Amino acid sequence: MFRFAAAAFRPAAARSFVASRQAMPVIAARWYSAGGALSRDDIQERIYQILRDFDKVNQDKISPVSSFTKDLGLDSLDTVEVVMAIEEEFSVEIPDDEADKIASVKDAIEYISHRSDAH
């Protein structure tokens, strides 16, 4: 009963503030951890899947040491498309000078494994 009596003596502005605070929804923030680094096997499998999605790639020749041009038969434009697909798959942005160095599956695996922001 004391609460009701005390609330009755509050100024009108204070009463409306308290009433509006009680009616406001509660918004909770979620904090996610990084979840750990990607394993080389996960990276390799995801890059293999990217290459499997390309019609021009001979599926039997995909291996960790496959060159995009020599072994898989991709031209320079196809290689750019593969690098762009890798960027999208791992949510990273690869600078042009670094993208030019990615010429094989091994190069792509190495590059992504050294990126801490890849997921």
What are the catalytic residues? 75
**CA 9, CA 11: separation in Å to the nearest integer?**
6
Question: Tokens standing for 58?
Answer: 């001979």
DSSP per residue, 87-101: HHHHT----HHHHTT
Question: Tokens standing for 12?
Answer: 């009108």
**CA 106, CA 22: separation in Å to the nearest integer?**
58
Instruction: Outline where 35-75 has alpha helix (H).
Output: 40-52
**CA 80, CA 83: separation in Å to the nearest integer?**
5
